[in-house]
């Protein structure tokens, strides 16, 4: 195996295509959270490795030429585990991550918070309607908000029952500007507060563009700290160059 990609993101999918197009032997690892994941170029393995020890064993057994960690910026446990396992086994590691939206000029106008509980506390004093775009796994942090006009947009329904007044929207992105305008700028139900995670990108996500257009308050959850092992790359094409250089250096 040339490259192990830790995936579950659009960037990981793009990277898998680029690497396979170059004829590399690529395996993408998925956590297995998404039912019916989209098809991926190259091989796919599904499920956790069993912590850093399990991943170190997996690396020792499968010996990929390098690892590219392309998990979501908020998948902090997987990133920490990958750094530990790669350091321990001497496996080359790169972190592929979209640039933080902090680099965007309008980000200074947002309410930045350090986590979901802090975001929920901020929403207490902000107006309805609220649009939550924080993922099903974090639902519990927001339930204490109780009966409010909150739309919770997720790919799959959360396990928890939602308070009265909440609307569950099960949709898989990516969403276009028109999609977001239809949801957020409906004159009869214009979103006043948007809660989002700093997933990042080279430009603003359509929901952030539309929130700005309609004057909604944006509550943005800052990224968890990143591990210090591994090179950092900001785009799939850069990750491809890094992998080719690593594999060339080792051959």
Ligand X SMILES: NC(=O)c1ccc[n+]([C@@H]2O[C@H](COP(=O)([O-])OP(=O)(O)OC[C@H]3O[C@@H](n4cnc5c(N)ncnc54)[C@H](OP(=O)(O)O)[C@@H]3O)[C@@H](O)[C@H]2O)c1
* Binding-site ranges for ligand X (CB under 6 A): 6-9, 29-31, 33, 48-51, 54-55, 71-72, 74-78, 81, 135, 197
Beta carbon of residue 183, minimum distance to ligand X (angstroms, whole number): 19
Beta carbon of residue 135, minimum distance to ligand X (angstroms, whole number): 5
Between 84 and 238, name the residue whose CB sits nearer to ligand X.
Answer: 84
Query: Can you spell out the DSSP letters for 58-80?
Result: HHHHH--SEEEE---TT-HHHHH
Between 29 and 139, name the residue whose CB sits nearer to ligand X.
Answer: 29
Between 7 and 236, name the residue whose CB sits nearer to ligand X.
Answer: 7
Residue appearing with tokens 């700093």: 198
Peptide bond into 129 cis (omega under 30): yes
DSSP state of 90: T
Beta carbon of residue 249, minimum distance to ligand X (angstroms, whole number): 25
- Shortest CA distance to 153 belongs to which of 196, 204, 215, 93? 196
Q: How far is CA 226 from CA 10, 56, 168, in A?
A: 20, 19, 32
- Shortest CA distance to 198 belongs to which of 70, 85, 111? 111
Beta carbon of residue 83, minimum distance to ligand X (angstroms, whole number): 12
Between 50 and 146, name the residue whose CB sits nearer to ligand X.
Answer: 50
Residue appearing with tokens 């609220």: 130
Beta carbon of residue 141, minimum distance to ligand X (angstroms, whole number): 13
Name the token pair of 212.
């700005």
Beta carbon of residue 32, minimum distance to ligand X (angstroms, whole number): 7
DSSP state of 92: -
Between 173 and 189, name the residue whose CB sits nearer to ligand X.
Answer: 173
Between 109 and 159, name the residue whose CB sits nearer to ligand X.
Answer: 159
Q: In what order do the strands lie in the sheet with 217-221?
A: 111-113, 217-221, 193-197, 130-133, 150-154, 167-170
């Amino acid at each position: 195996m040339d490259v192990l990609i830790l995936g579950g993101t659009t960037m990981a999918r793009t990277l898998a295509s680029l690497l396979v197009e170059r004829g590399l032997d690529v395996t993408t690892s998925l956590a297995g959270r998404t039912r019916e994941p989209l098809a991926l170029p190259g091989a796919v393995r599904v499920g956790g490795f069993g912590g850093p020890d399990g991943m170190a064993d997996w690396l020792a057994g499968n010996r990929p030429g390098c690892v590219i960690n392309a998990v979501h910026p908020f998948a902090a446990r997987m990133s920490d585990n990958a750094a530990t396992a790669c350091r321990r086994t001497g496996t080359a590691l790169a972190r592929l991550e979209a640039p933080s939206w902090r680099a965007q000029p309008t980000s200074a106008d947002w309410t930045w918070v350090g986590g979901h509980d802090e975001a929920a506390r901020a929403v207490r004093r902000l107006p309805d309607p609220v649009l939550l775009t924080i993922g099903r796994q974090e639902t519990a942090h927001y339930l204490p908000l109780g009966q409010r006009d909150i739309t919770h947009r997720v790919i799959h329904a959360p396990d928890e029952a939602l308070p009265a007044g909440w609307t569950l929207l099960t949709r898989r992105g990516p969403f276009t500007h028109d999609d977001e305008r239809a949801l957020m700028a409906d004159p009869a139900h214009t979103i006043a507060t948007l809660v989002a995670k700093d997933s990042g990108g080279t430009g603003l996500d359509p929901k952030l563009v539309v929130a700005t257009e309609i004057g909604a308050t944006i509550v943005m959850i800052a990224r968890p700290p990143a591990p210090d092992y591994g090179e950092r790359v900001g785009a799939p094409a850069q990750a491809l160059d890094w992998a080719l250089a690593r594999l060339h250096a080792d051959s």
